[in-house]
Structure 1
Amino acid sequence: MTKIDTLRKINKNIVHDDGTIDSFERQLIDFMFGEYDYNYPFVISTNSEGLKLVMDIDLDKPLCIDVKTVIKCERKHSLDLSFVSHIDDYIRESCLAFESLTQETSIVFVLNRKSDTFELPYIAICRTDKKYGEYVVNQITSIYDKEKLESLIQRTYDANKKFYVNEKSRAFIKSAELQLPINLINALSTSYDKQCLTKSQVEQDLSKSKSYGSETQLDEVKEDVEEYEMDIAEDRW
């Protein structure tokens, strides 16, 4: 079965006879004018390339979002449809992602954006095994600005959940002035090169470095942490 056939099964209304597909923006416009069938999910993208920060995700699956989630974004979280329409790009630019504490098949993406009113970072939660009939997709289940993100990150790290980092992660942690466990700061330092990590893995790697006498790497980590703490102190002063 082709990708077009799969998309037609998920939402027949957005796939036309000539094989073209309505964009997510077009679907939201129809929704805004009351012309969207609420029985079908929005298809944000025909693939999930925007989620590539998380290497465990099947990027070939369509990326979807339910109508009720979009309504919740508008009414509960005060996100306009313009913001929602760019969610694929915002997730693509994420500065950090980690496994959910409560939903085994969900990933929390920390977006590189903050709310205008309270300067809180936005997060988007993606479920990786949502079924529509016989088809499995990646589904955005929530988007909102997150209070107490620091606490969530720490509890998730302590639970030994997977974290996915990139070149933006450390800069984000610094700019957000988050007080995090020292080993997590180590993991986000320039001397730690893994893109997927857990608390136990970080502790094991640092222990190995110490056991094998890798003082250079440990010194680099120490310098990174000291620099980070000094930057935070200067920003607060």
Structure 2
Amino acid sequence: MIQAENISMRYLMSYDRVKSIKEYLVQLVKGKIKYEEFWALREVSFTIQQGEVVGLIGHNGAGKSTLLKVISGILKPTCGTVKVNGNVVPMLELGSGFDYDLTGRENIFLNGAILGYSEKYLKEKYDEIVAFSELGKFIDIPIRNYSSGMMMRLAFSIATVVDPEILIVDEILSVGDAAFQEKSKHRMLELMGGGTTVLFVSHSLEQIREMCSRVVWLDHGTVKMDGDPQKVCDAYESGM
């Protein structure tokens, strides 16, 4: 379902405090703009088969979220290729794709359209989405008034209303109250049991061990270990 070959991602970081485009151009012409290279990913390669549940672990800044964005098509790698066979539903940043001035109801159709769902389909699934989100009457107020937990419940409900072929999740299961976290986990397990390919990041090694069939450990942008969840998590813990 996913084939990554020698993925590398480079960022150019500038420490100059330029406050306008004009100032930037002047400094650039004078040769005073200095950049430092930062490689978020270096020659990352792996293949994920249909139905695999793959966890990504690693310290903050290891490249996990960058890799998920590359696979989702949000970022283009500096070099290397990614081949994805199937529709991808990314759940990467809380509230991405939402309009904060619109109500929860309106955002279901907006966010659903971004994910590729038709208006007819969303109307058919609307009651199911609202019921799962547990937002009740709050579905008709602007989401700028939502808490982060309410936002997460709405985003998760929209993204998982169908059985996506590939689901990409970044720490989303750690948001919200304990009851909804458990409910979300059960929904994820349902998707996994139905053959959905899942790639997700979590700092909870307990969650990774329980839900994953395989784990990839990223360290400073490179794959340090790839394999059995228990072995990889144990090695990661011993190296922390």
Larger strand percent? 2
- Establish whether TM, by shorter chain, passes 0.5: no
Q: Which protein has greater RCO, CA pairs closer than 8 Å, 6+ apart?
A: 2
TM-score of the pair, normalised by structure 1:
0.31
